[in-house]
Structure 1
Amino acid sequence: MTDVPARLLYVGWTGQGNLGDNAIADALLPRLPGVEPWHVPHEPRAFARRVVADGLRGARERAVLVGGGTVVGRRNWRLLLEATGRLLAWRRPWHLIGIGVEDPAFQGRNSFSAGGELARWRGLCARFDRVTVRGPRSAALLESVGVPAEVVGDPALLHEPEPVAPQEKLLGVNLGFGDDLWGHDHGRVVEAVADLVRGLAADGWTARFLVINRKDRVFADEAVRLAAVPAEIRAADTVPEYFAAVGDCTALVAERLHALVLAAAAAVPVVGLEYQPKCADFLASVGAEEHCVRTDRVTPGLLREHVDALAEGRAAESARLLGEVGELRARLRDELARIRDGAELTGSAR
């Protein structure tokens, strides 16, 4: 151990009202003693204020921890991390766990991944002791530019709720996306989900819409209006609230990535509305890629086929998910132990 305790600077998109990014931080920070209790600002002026205030003090002893999210392959994140390395965190190596890689096959309005961006990450990735990623597509993308990577899963899988008995014919639904989506037409997705909910209601199902980002409430409201059947809308601002809302669902049809991740953590069978490749990447990590529907190909009939199949085999699919997630949790815990040792952190961890 060194005389000066090593510190990790957590780089993550947190405090922005998005449950997924907060879920990653909430899963990691309590398990890594010695992490500084602030998160790197992403807005340039806020970053500058941090540097001017006291950012240089302790920079020599400070290393970076990237805790997850779709970071690698995005120009904005590369510039942020390079600035962090110059001004705030000089210690090497840096650390990361279970990050996602932006797939250049998708070019949305704010992808920041065009022009061979991924190849520009080779040097930055060399600053990390090793690279672990969310899913197999992320690993393949990095390996295509000469960066070896290992799949350990999304860090939010570390959340482990108590098991809940499922209700019969209760469909969980989550709608919401980031900067853009396959097909660039979210109205089509909302209409397809509304048709699905209406058709299921005719067969005795009920629907519960789960909102994990407050700006997504409009999509739930519109889907319920179009479906023209009674449905519950429940906001979940914290991980425990989300587990309480999703745990007893027969199945979940979800668009937001971490609506899928946390449902899998609760062993709830999922149908993924793949608005960007990161959703398929995660579903592949838990062996559920067959239940992934791209948003430019979604139809009510296709969604109904997936829901019916999952409902019929609910117990088996839940048990299968539990096994897949359990294996990834073990990898994540091993990785956290390695980071604690490598960063010379002390203290207990759960």
Structure 2
Amino acid sequence: MTTAVYVGWTGRGNLGDDAIADALLHHIPGVAPWHVPTDPTAFAGRLLAGAGVGARRRTVLLGGGTVVGRRNWRMLLAATGALLARRRPWHLIGVGVEDPAFQGRNSFSDKDELRRWVDVCGWFDRITVRGPRSRELLASVGVDAEIVGDPALLHTPIAAVEPKERLLGLNLGYGDDLWGHDHDRVLDETAALVRQLAKENWSTRLLVVNLKDLSFATECARRARVDAEIRIATTVSDYMTAVADCTVLVAERLHALVLGAAAAVPLVGLEYQPKCGDFLSSINSAERSLRTDAVTTGALIEHVREIADHRDMESATLATHVEVLRESLLEEVAWIRNRLSADLVVGSAP
């Protein structure tokens, strides 16, 4: 069996990237017990510790996340191919593609970056992506891709849970930047949502999936002037438990949405970057995506009320769409597992 090294943004307190790694490594044996460091200093330290030995016998398993179309990931993969894993083919599953339409203040992309990925995509056995926008972006530079969904959808609920009446799950948090560059506005609109729903006998559970986001939860509760529950849920099991009995989920972090969908909790997305809309489109919920530069309390209340009025149907429909993607993901991990087991190697990475 070929040994693979895992490349992903793991071990940094980010629920989504850790959830992807946990899901994939559960299904794919033969992956080295260490992951490729994403920090240059740690990468150099791994080399000095002898990780370059055996590079010709290793391939790569690239986890999901929005990696394609970002300069920092392209450079990391080039270094990995030269020094740590030189066997082909490489493997990936359900990656996201950075949309050049979004130019954040700390962006690792530009209008020409995606074209630089055409050769990199050729290092992989096949290309599968998170959603339709990712596939469209790759098609624009001549790369064919198949939609299989976000790998974190491989996680399943531990047990069936009866949803509570009028319990809003609310997640706030974003990465390097967001549409509109103004998160204070998002706090105002969501706080007004919580305050209005409280008048209608709703309760709110603020779900914190990254400790960096705790201040957003506390500030939202303060502005709403209600006694909202704040739940720290930085692991998959904790989050799935915390979200399972919510009537409706309104979430900003991408993988708060992904894992909410995996738990079949009807949801509304606060689209802080295009990747959130990409995911929601993959589960036929594009209409539930509200960009952070345009979201209003009124729109949020309308979505929440509509979902709550048809909660069972919304949940069943969501579960059906998720199950289709989950089957595609399982087929893809089986393909990768078989390729690694068969030791089908066609060359060496640059």
TM over 0.5: yes
Is 1:113 aligned to 2:109, yes or no?
A: yes
**1:180 matched residue in structure 2:** 177
- What amino acid does structure 2 have at the position aligned with 1:37? P
> What is the aligned counterpart of 1:294 among 288, 291, 296?
291
Further displaced range: 200-209 or 26-35: 26-35
In the TM superposition, structure 1's runs of 4+ consecutive aligned residues that sit over 2 Å from their partners are none
**2:154 matched residue in structure 1:** 158
The correspondence of residues 1-350 of structure 1 with structure 2, limited to 5 A, is 5-161=1-157, 162-344=159-341
- What amino acid does structure 2 have at the position aligned with 1:280? G
For residues 300-321 of structure 1, give each alpha carbon's deviation from its aligned partner in whole angstroms, at most 9, with x where no partner exists: 1110011011101111110001
* 8 Å CA contact 2:173, 2:216 repeated in 1: yes
| In structure 2, distance between residues paired with 1:110 and 1:80 | 18
Q: Can you give the 5+ residue segments of structure 2 that lack an aligned partner in the other structure?
A: 344-350
**1:345 CA drift (Å):** 6.7
CA RMSD of aligned residues (A): 0.9
Aligned residues: 342
| In structure 2, distance between residues paired with 1:110 and 1:141 | 21
- What amino acid does structure 1 have at the position aligned with 2:34? W
* 8 Å CA contact 1:34, 1:345 repeated in 2: no
| In structure 1, distance between residues paired with 2:253 and 2:59 | 31
**1:115 CA drift (Å):** 4.2
SS in 1 for 2:187: helix
| In structure 2, distance between residues paired with 1:37 and 1:320 | 38
* 8 Å CA contact 2:4, 2:60 repeated in 1: yes
Q: Can you give the 5+ residue segments of structure 1 that lack an aligned partner in the other structure?
A: none
SS in 2 for 1:104: coil
TM-score (norm 2): 0.97
SS in 2 for 1:233: strand
| In structure 2, distance between residues paired with 1:327 and 1:278 | 20
| In structure 2, distance between residues paired with 1:225 and 1:37 | 44
- What amino acid does structure 2 have at the position aligned with 1:221? T
Further displaced range: 315-324 or 109-118: 109-118
**1:163 CA drift (Å):** 2.1
| In structure 2, distance between residues paired with 1:256 and 1:345 | 38
For residues 137-163 of structure 1, give each alpha carbon's deviation from its aligned partner in whole angstroms, at most 9, with x where no partner exists: 000000100110000000000001122
What is the percentage of aligned positions where both structures have the same residue?
Answer: 64
* 8 Å CA contact 2:268, 2:289 repeated in 1: yes
* 8 Å CA contact 1:7, 1:343 repeated in 2: yes
- What amino acid does structure 2 have at the position aligned with 1:338? W
- What amino acid does structure 2 have at the position aligned with 1:43? D
